[in-house]
């Protein structure tokens, strides 16, 4: 059976959400209230990210990376990722974060970021303000990075799609397109899809690997 594993980055591979850590450190403004608008369905994540990252008046890459360098990944992810490589399973990171910090965090944990497919947003600094770089066009859901369209493109080439995530931007692609949904225990994705029969709540990647080992041996 051929599997495609689509995996969120922040709060899923990492133990904390890099974007939230950055916003907490770099602005005193109320960026969390914008998340509430997304939860209520009033705005999409594209409008939300533009609003939230726009709240940072002034920063530097040194400042950004000093915060990024405190982010830890789930230690069980390393073995899981090596298992994926050994079994030649298709794996892609789908993230509403920025490619530059995703690569930096992976490298810091000795994972060769050039060998992982990463579909995310990116950013650069213009006059010490964060300027967002979206890699997908605007979509009907007003996603920043349309994870739904990425999974849709991938889906036809595999027997089963496994989605691993934790947050708001994972709800739509997981609900609409996944065969198996692994959601971080008690986080937004798990809470939203509580009654979905495909939902498996997880605390670490050992649990996911065990499940998938059985699945591919079937």
Cβ at position 199, least distance to Zn ion in Å: 21
Number of residues interacting with Mg ion: please give it, by CB under 5 A. 5
- Using the minimum distance from each CB to Mg ion, give the nearer residue, 12 or 59: 12
* Residue 10, binding choice from Zn ion, Mg ion, none, Cβ under 5 to 8 Å by partner class: Mg ion
**DSSP string covering 23-68, please?**
HHHH--S-THHHHHHHHTTSS-HHHHHHHHHTT-----HHHHHHHH
Cβ at position 30, least distance to Zn ion in Å: 25
Cβ at position 145, least distance to Zn ion in Å: 8
* Residue 11, binding choice from Zn ion, Mg ion, none, Cβ under 5 to 8 Å by partner class: Mg ion
Cβ at position 139, least distance to Zn ion in Å: 3
* Residue 8, binding choice from Mg ion, Zn ion, none, Cβ under 5 to 8 Å by partner class: Mg ion
- Using the minimum distance from each CB to Zn ion, give the nearer residue, 151 or 208: 151
Cβ at position 12, least distance to Mg ion in Å: 5
Q: Is 122 in the site for Mg ion (CB under 5 A)?
A: no
- Which of the residues 164 through 183 are near Mg ion (CB under 5 A)? 166-167
Dihedral pair phi/psi, residue 91, rounded to 5°:
-140, 130
The span of 7-15, 79-87, 106-114, 205-213 binding Mg ion (CB under 5 A) equals: 7-15
Give the residues lining the site for Zn ion (CB under 5 A).
139, 141, 143, 146, 148
Cβ at position 146, least distance to Mg ion in Å: 15
**DSSP string covering the chain, please?**
--EEEEE--TTTTBSS-HHHHHHHHH--S-THHHHHHHHTTSS-HHHHHHHHHTT-----HHHHHHHHTT--B-THHHHHHHHHHHTT-EEEEEEEEEHHHHHHHHHHTT--GGGSEEEEEEEEEETTEEEEE-SS---TT--SS-HHHHHHHHHTTSSEEEEEE-SHHHHHHHHHH-SEEEEETTSHHHHHTTT-TTEEEESSHHHHHHHHHHHHH-
* Residue 148, binding choice from Zn ion, Mg ion, none, Cβ under 5 to 8 Å by partner class: Zn ion
Which positions lie near Mg ion, rule CB under 5 A? 8, 10-11, 166-167
């Amino acid at each position: 059976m051929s599997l495609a594993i689509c995996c969120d980055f922040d709060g899923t591979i990492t133990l904390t959400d890099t974007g939230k850590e950055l916003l907490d450190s770099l602005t005193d403004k109320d960026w969390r209230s914008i998340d509430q608008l997304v939860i209520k369905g009033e705005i999409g994540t594209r409008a939300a990210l533009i609003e939230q990252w726009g709240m940072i008046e002034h920063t530097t890459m040194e400042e950004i990376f000093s915060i990024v360098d405190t982010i830890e990944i789930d230690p069980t992810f390393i073995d899981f990722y090596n298992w994926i490589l050994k079994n030649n399973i298709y794996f892609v990171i789908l993230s509403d974060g920025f490619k530059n910090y995703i690569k930096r965090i992976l490298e810091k944990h000795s994972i060769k970021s050039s060998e992982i497919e990463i579909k995310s947003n990116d950013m650069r600094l213009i006059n010490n303000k964060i300027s967002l770089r979206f890699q997908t066009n605007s979509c009907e859901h007003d996603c920043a990075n349309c994870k739904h369209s990425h999974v849709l493109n991938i889906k036809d080439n595999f027997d089963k799609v496994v989605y691993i995530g934790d947050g708001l931007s994972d709800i739509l692609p997981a609900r609409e397109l996944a065969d198996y949904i692994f959601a971080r225990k008690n986080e937004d994705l798990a809470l939203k899809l509580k009654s979905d029969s495909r939902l498996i709540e997880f605390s670490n990647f050992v649990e996911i690997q065990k499940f998938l080992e059985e699945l591919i041996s079937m």
